[in-house]
Amino acid sequence: MSGSLRLAALEHAGVDLVAGVPCSYLMRFFAACEGLPPGRYIAAPREDHAVAVCAGAWLGGRLALAAMQNSGLGYCLEVLTSLHLMYRMPLPMLVSDRGEPTDYEEHRILGQRTRQVLDLFGIPWRVATAGDQEAEASWLVRTAQDGRQPAVLLVGKEADV
């Protein structure tokens, strides 16, 4: 099957554009993003650039989603804290959930602390499943918009639907 139920659900929930850096755990999602019309998916050179593009889009009246590997969260902390959290901007985020004990070494240190990092900065998160993408997209967009803050959907390999 081509396409991504996850992307379709997020668009249905109100996401206008996507900016991000690919992760192999989100291969199906990013493949679908590449099929969006020009200007609706921004392939950024690094995750913090993607997050800043989303801030500009929101100032312009559109809701942009940032998508990335959880390793990219490290690059994003400065932008999330001194842009989205400080100015109170909504930011739905799709973040891969790498770092399980069987994953490669380079994914474990930050990967196994992703939830703690998000909790530390007061960013709400939820773990995605393979079958409830409409409710998850709705939660993500509503949490980000109502709270005018970042909110994260953590996506494991099996939830890239």
Partner 1 sequence: MTRAEAVALVLSRLAPGDIVVAADGAISREAYRSADRARSFYMLGSMGHVASIALGLALTRSERVVALDGDGNLLMGFGNLALIGGLRPVKLYHLVLDNQVYATTGGQACLSRQVDLAAAAAGCGYPWARRCGLDEDAGAAVDAWLGAAGPALLDLIVAPLDPGPVAKRIPMTPEEMALQVRRALGAS
**Structure tokens given for 4:** 């991504």
Closest to 67 measured CA to CA, from 104, 42, 87 = 42
Is position 81 an interface residue for partner 1 (rule: CB under 8 A)? yes
Q: By rule CB under 8 A, what string of x and - marks binding of each residue 12-51 to partner 1?
A: ----xx-x-------------------x--x-xxx-xxx-
Nearer to partner 1, 20 or 99 (CB): 20
Minimum CB distance to partner 1, residue 78 (Å): 6
Contact between residue 107 and residue 97 where contact means Cβ atoms under 8 Å apart: no
Among 54, 137, 153, 159, binds partner 1 (CB under 8 A): 54
Nearer to partner 1, 71 or 133 (CB): 71
**Cβ within 8 Å of residue 4, ≥6 positions away:** 28, 29, 31, 32, 33, 160, 161
Structure tokens at 52: 């800043």
Q: Does 87 help bind partner 1 (rule: CB under 8 A)?
A: yes
